[in-house]
Amino acid sequence: KNQSPTKNIESRNCAAHRTAAAAAGVRRVQYHQENVMERAGIEIMNKDFRKSTVYQIYPKSFCDTNKDGIGDLRGVIEKLDYIKELGTDYIWLTPFFVSPQNDNGYDVEDYYNIDPSYGTMEDVEELIAEAGKRDIGLMFDMVFNHVSTRHEWFRKAMDGAPYYKDFFIFRKGKGDGVPPTNWESKFGGNAWEYVEKFDEYYLHLFDVTQADLNWENENLRKEIQKILKFWMEKGVRGFRFDVINLISKACYEDDETGDGRKYYTDGPKIHQYLKEMHDATFGTDPGIVTVGEMSSTTMENCFKYAGRDTGELSMVFSFHHLKVDFMGNEKWVLVPADFQKLKDIIFDWQTKMAEHNAWNAVFWCNHDQPRVVSRFGDEGKYWKESAKMLGTIIHCLRGTPYVYQGEEIGMTNTDFTDISQFKDVESLNHYQILQHKGLSASDALRIIQIHSRDNGRTPMQWDDSKYAGFAAEDSAEPWIAVNGNHTKINAADQLRDEDSIFHYYQKLIALRKELDIIAYGSIEPLAEKDPCVFAYRRMYEGHELIVAANFYGRDYTWKNAPDVDGYTRVIGNYKDAAAAENGVMGLRPYEAAVWYK
């Protein structure tokens, strides 16, 4: 654990590492036979995911306890009481398995062992047990569309073993030096890599070191089922499946748009694969919650992915509402956010998923997104009000809310001023691509500053010390720089302040547990075409909830507002209630309020 990340990576190539991995394979049987929760004497509670809230942790940036500049699992254990105080029910941990870290852990080398930079199997077991004592379930992030090219399966495939070569998607090129298709990798460049030994190409929809898996192969699917069963036996209570709707490829043909998405998104066998995985693994335990990350998906597919009785997943992440500051599907541009489009998308998904008895994960932030207060709110004068307003909108919707580390204290985008400060492979690739398209270096940097995934990956801001409490002051420098505003935005200050963003999020999370209408109620959009107001009504068994928010930093008069006389304001981001009479409601900058009857 005390080695530098570089040394850890180098060590994995040596014989000693391979020997250790082999020994770990022997230990897997022992681990599989012993449930961590049972050993700790903890009763496993089956939670209702509709009344629950999930807290997402990006371990690399959460808390560093061994002073190597990288967050670790013991850091998560150290902060469990903080998460318990916030009130969330599950912790979603992004991958901490053995990995060369070319894509920050989403390039998995070994699903059964822990990357030394994060800790040990014993740390994972202790984390599961300690979280269980606090009635918090662990949700692991499983990457099954692709593996690292350092994974044992791929190495055996490259050695020429037919059994393992069929775990991957190898194809002949269309001609000398011409890949099988013109598909573009999501990280830039062609999605096929040539292997001279075979005179074939392998598919990698992401980085060249992330080889796509061949789900047509039943043996591959059974290996994936074994992995899930292993972690279920450990006491894991949930799974998040990374880009899971890309696992079924329709065919391998050129795409006139050049990106190939239509041939691998929501493919022809995707529902078959998910049902099979459900029935063989997590579907055998009704207490396990699952969520699928759905890339560029359709709502019609999500009715099945997350339908109440379809036997696939508990809920889905969709990202259409987070493309309202894109130009079409193009992320690497600077355009203002389209508020009307944001409302249309959210309300469309809310109402239609409800009509089909399907469930959403509702969220603004994660490790792949910019910070929402920087994106749709105000980092300056109305920082606190806008952060609370955005939280109000999400937490009262129909769906399970996700809070990404630091969102509950209003963390902002990075303050990076030079490309050398960025670490994300996608951002660095597109910095070069943008310049090849003719942009200046300064214009390319400005786009990266706004859209980079690193905006959500700077260290968690615990206090105002040198490294924001992410690491001790005598530690190695964090793997990515701390945001300079940690002296003003940090958890320690907010825990002391009853009017803080943290305490507001705490109340929102508690409100979902207290009021059944938030978890189970229907939803009716309000002010659908209003240029400034985001509002909706929830209804359930004679109860009503009205949520209203001014999305902008100026006073606004909402005409044709609902009458809230006789309602109780159960939460709001201003101390006193908004003035409302005769169908007119005055809303202050970024004001949000929730009325209940």
Query: Residues with catalytic annotation?
Result: 242, 293
Average of pLDDT values for 276-281? 98
**427: alpha, beta or left, given left = phi > 0 and alpha = psi -120 to 50?**
alpha
Span 203-242, pLDDT tens digits? 999 999 999 999 999 999 999 999 999 999 999 999 999 9
> How sure is the predictor about 297, in pLDDT bands with cuts at 50, 70 and 90?
very high
Tokens of 375: 């994106």
DSSP 407-454: GGGT-------SGGG---HHHHHHHHHHHHTT--HHHHHHHHHHH-GG
Q: 271, 297 in Cβ contact below 8 A?
A: no
DSSP 360-398: BEE-S--TTS--HHHHTS-SSTTHHHHHHHHHHHHHTSS
- 278/313 Cα distance (integer angstroms): 7
Average of pLDDT values for 566-584? 89
- 9/18 Cα distance (integer angstroms): 12
Tokens of 75: 């850091």
Q: Which of 212-221, 324-333, 504-513 shows the lowest mean pLDDT across its residues?
A: 324-333
Q: Using alpha carbons, select from 52, 122, 108 the residue that is nearest to residue 227.
A: 108
Span 85-96, pLDDT tens digits? 999 999 999 999
Span 343-368, pLDDT tens digits? 999 999 999 999 999 999 999 999 99
> How sure is the predictor about 444, in pLDDT bands with cuts at 50, 70 and 90?
very high
- 560/584 Cα distance (integer angstroms): 6
Element (H, E) at 203: strand 200-203
The pTM is what? 0.92
Q: 81, 135 in Cβ contact below 8 A?
A: no
At 38 the pLDDT is: 76
- 206/186 Cα distance (integer angstroms): 5
Q: Using alpha carbons, select from 297, 320, 337 the residue that is nearest to residue 450.
A: 337
At 36 the pLDDT is: 77
Whole-number percent of the chain with pLDDT over 70:
94
Q: 273, 221 in Cβ contact below 8 A?
A: yes
- 391/505 Cα distance (integer angstroms): 7
Q: For 142, phi and psi rounded to 5 degrees?
A: -110, 125
Span 362-409, pLDDT tens digits? 999 999 999 999 999 999 999 999 999 999 999 999 999 999 999 999
Average of pLDDT values for 461-476? 97
Element (H, E) at 502: helix 501-514
Element (H, E) at 23: helix 15-33
Tokens of 419: 């490309």
- 49/498 Cα distance (integer angstroms): 28
Question: Mean pLDDT across the chain, nearest whole number?
Answer: 93
